[in-house]
Amino acid sequence: MPTILVTGANRGIGLEFAKQYASDGWSVIGTAREPDSAEELKAIGAVEILQLDVADADSVDAFADALGDRPVDLFINNAGVYGSDDLDRDDWLKTFEINTIAPTLLAERLKPNVAAGDQKKMAVISSMMGSIGDGNGSNAIIYRSSKAAVNAAWKALSNRYRDDGIAVAILHPGWVQTDMGGPNATIDPETSVSGMRAVLDGLSVRSTGRFTAYDGSQLPW
């Protein structure tokens, strides 16, 4: 069966990815900052849990060592933070580190693993809030800019990886009922992840580098 690696798999959207792919019989590798307390992830059973704090260089090195040269069919960069609504410099830098720089460096680092897989797919969970074309919001400048920047970085990655046969998706999960999305969000994790899985099923180098919502619609950059 294929192998999926998903970051931030201990709760929210990442946990749902782990649940759904495990239930379809995939080999699932889920990362958590604190594996010992990742109870819901452990409860899935057939999931390998690796420690990873994407903002900690030592943790990233240990994670890459633990993964080794294993092939990964689908790599989903899901871990993310919302950051502050205040324009705080340190929080902005931290949010960029987690939402923008870490996913892009991880993609580069794990490119050999994905190239060794059969499916050769990578995705980043971005957000419609990173869309400049749709930019009517006035809040969350830190979050919006971090997601706009990861969109730009991953669009470039899609061009960079095309000749290697690796397909890249930039996904908007919808407004999802998680700790980040809150209780008023419009869809549950199951709906969001089922939709994104359908998009990922159809992903190929012909459709690489698109900004796509969980319902398959194309979004303005």
Ligand X SMILES: NC(=O)c1ccc[n+]([C@@H]2O[C@H](COP(=O)([O-])OP(=O)(O)OC[C@H]3O[C@@H](n4cnc5c(N)ncnc54)[C@H](OP(=O)(O)O)[C@@H]3O)[C@@H](O)[C@H]2O)c1
- Interface positions with ligand X (CB under 6 A): 7-8, 10-14, 33-34, 52-55, 78-81, 98, 125, 127, 173, 175-176, 178-181, 185
Cβ-based nearer residue to ligand X, 76 or 166: 76
- Separation CA 152–CA 5 (nearest Å): 22
Cβ-based nearer residue to ligand X, 115 or 185: 185
The least CB distance from residue 181 to ligand X, in Å, is 3
- Separation CA 41–CA 23 (nearest Å): 13
Cβ-based nearer residue to ligand X, 108 or 164: 108
The least CB distance from residue 127 to ligand X, in Å, is 4
Q: Where are the alpha helices (DSSP H) in the chain?
A: 12-23, 39-44, 57-67, 89-96, 102-115, 141-161, 189-201
Cβ-based nearer residue to ligand X, 13 or 168: 13
Tokens of 203: 């992903």
The least CB distance from residue 57 to ligand X, in Å, is 12
- Collapsed DSSP state (helix, strand, coil) of residue 3: strand
> ∠ CA(193), CA(173), CA(4), 5° rounding?
45
The radius of gyration of the chain from alpha carbons, rounded to an integer in Å, stands at 16
The least CB distance from residue 87 to ligand X, in Å, is 19
